[in-house]
């Protein structure tokens, strides 16, 4: 039995997009011991996937925590790995390759001089295509759409209405330019209520201000901010009529479980590179995200919920509609 290490740190959307590649690695190394190195935030998700024999939490210690950094490097060197798949591809992980120099490890990644070198793309491509080509360097070619069947939880405590749509107005706090304005989400929520569909607002406790503002402008909305786990998020997506939100991790989960989804982009991110992978996804983009009109979002929601909407589950081949 060989020991194989997979490095995948973050973020949530990137990990959801990487699940097909992680599953392909599990199939390719069915007889081997597969270890993943991730961050504390996603260790539970990696363990729940059932794809790994061991989950290691990488402290990502730098110069400010030299003892932790040295301990991590020692752990890597003593791990006895015959091959490493670097699905993060950062300066930090390239340093890990240098730390393992002389151990004879095979390395599949963008580290110069490694055994299966796959450089970063010189033009925009979807991350799933980039990672698929990376694995092809190591002879792994069977990549299927993401399967989030393992991710579920009870919704009994949420008292959901019969018809609901999911609204995800948050995103990374340090990237406000990726957020559609509160006024847009509030206008959209009121129109959903008028159509007999309850807007269910999702987000973390850190996004409580945004969620409260939308709920205040649309009394018919349900605010579940800070109340849902990742498993509940997936379960909500399976029962929702629609989902709409910014370019943020939860939208990747909703798209992957099949929720008809509309994802909003400004110039701060590129759907060609990072759009969610799912069978029913429309992306809308404007140079300034606030220039996307609610009417345009409603039209996209009608399109993606139409039974005739084409099944395009491969973001590496189909960059998105809208």
The CATH number for 181's domain is 3.40.50.2000
Query: What are 130's two structure tokens?
Result: 């980039």
Does residue 16 lie in a domain region? yes
| Weakest-pLDDT range from 31-45, 111-125, 192-206, 300-314 | 300-314
As a whole number of angstroms, the distance between CA 278 and CA 55 comes to 27
Does residue 147 lie in a domain region? no
Does residue 311 lie in a domain region? no
Does residue 33 lie in a domain region? yes
Contact 110, 120 (CB under 8 A): yes
| CA 111 centroid distance within chain | 24
Q: What is the pLDDT of residues 9-43, one digit of tens each?
A: 999 999 999 999 999 999 999 999 999 999 999 99
Burial class (CB in 10 A: 0-12, 13-18, 19+), 18: buried
Residues 55, 99 share a domain: yes
Residues 8, 37 share a domain: yes
Query: Other CB atoms closer than 10 Å to residue 6's CB: what's the count?
Result: 26
> Residue 170: how many CA atoms within 13 Å on its side-chain side?
21
Residue 321's pLDDT is 43
Residue carrying structure tokens 């095979």: 106
Residues 161, 299 share a domain: yes
Share of the chain above pLDDT 70, in %: 96
Residues 241, 129 share a domain: no
Strands (E) in the chain, as ranges, are 3-7, 33-38, 54-57, 83-86, 106-109, 116-117, 164-168, 198-201, 222-223, 242-246, 261-265, 281-285
Does residue 144 lie in a domain region? no
3-state helix, strand, coil in the chain (%, to 5): 40, 15, 45
Burial class (CB in 10 A: 0-12, 13-18, 19+), 39: middle
This prediction has a pTM of 0.94
- Tell me the average pLDDT across 155-173: 94
Does residue 322 lie in a domain region? no
Residues 180, 117 share a domain: no
Residues 94, 20 share a domain: yes
> Residue 63: how many CA atoms within 13 Å on its side-chain side?
0
Residues 165, 122 share a domain: no
Contact 88, 108 (CB under 8 A): no
The answer to whether residue 320 scores a pLDDT higher than 50 is no
Residues 168, 293 share a domain: yes
Residues 233, 122 share a domain: no
- Tell me the average pLDDT across 100-115: 95
Does residue 263 lie in a domain region? yes
The range of the structural domain enclosing residue 15 comes to: 3-136
As a whole number of angstroms, the distance between CA 238 and CA 259 comes to 6
The answer to whether residue 96 scores a pLDDT higher than 70 is yes
Contact 57, 43 (CB under 8 A): yes
Residues 186, 116 share a domain: no
Residues 178, 80 share a domain: no
What are the backbone dihedrals phi and psi of residue 192, each rounded to the nearest 5 degrees, phi first?
A: -65, -40
Residue 274's pLDDT is 92
Residues 287, 191 share a domain: yes
Number of domains in the chain: 2
Query: What are 211's two structure tokens?
Result: 């969620």
Residue 311's pLDDT is 65
Does residue 205 lie in a domain region? yes
């Amino acid at each position: 039995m060989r020991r194989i290490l997979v490095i995948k740190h973050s973020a949530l959307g990137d990990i959801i997009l990487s699940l097909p590649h992680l599953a392909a690695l599990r199939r390719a190394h069915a007889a081997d011991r597969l270890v993943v190195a991730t961050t504390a935030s996603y260790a539970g998700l990696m363990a729940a996937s059932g794809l790994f024999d061991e989950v290691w939490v990488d402290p990502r210690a730098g110069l400010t925590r030299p003892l932790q950094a040295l301990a991590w490097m020692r752990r890597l060197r003593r791990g006895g790995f015959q091959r490493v798949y670097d699905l993060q591809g950062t300066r930090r992980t390239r340093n890990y390759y240098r730390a393992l120099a002389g151990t004879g490890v095979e390395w599949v990644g963008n580290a110069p001089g490694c055994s299966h070198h796959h450089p970063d793309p010189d033009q925009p491509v979807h991350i799933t295509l980039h990672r698929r080509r990376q694995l092809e360097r190591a002879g792994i070619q069977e990549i299927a759409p993401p399967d989030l069947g393992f991710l579920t939880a009870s919704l009994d405590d949420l008292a959901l209405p019969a018809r609901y749509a999911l609204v995800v107005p948050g995103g990374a706090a340090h990237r406000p330019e990726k957020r559609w304005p509160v006024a847009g989400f509030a206008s959209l929520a009121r129109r959903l209520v008028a159509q007999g569909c309850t807007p269910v607002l999702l987000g973390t406790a850190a996004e409580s201000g945004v969620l409260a503002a939308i709920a205040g402008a649309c009394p018919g909305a349900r605010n579940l901010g800070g109340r849902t786990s990742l498993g509940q998020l997936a379960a909500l997506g399976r029962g929702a009529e629609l989902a709409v939100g910014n370019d943020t991790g939860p939208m990747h989960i909703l798209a992957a479980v099949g929720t008809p989804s509309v994802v909003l982009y400004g110039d701060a991110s590129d759907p060609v590179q990072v759009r969610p992978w799912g069978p029913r996804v429309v992306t809308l983009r404007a140079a300034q995200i606030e220039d996307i009109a609610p009417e345009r979002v409603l039209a996209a929601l009608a399109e993606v919920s139409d039974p005739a909407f084409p099944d395009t589950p491969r973001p590496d081949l189909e960059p998105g509609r809208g």
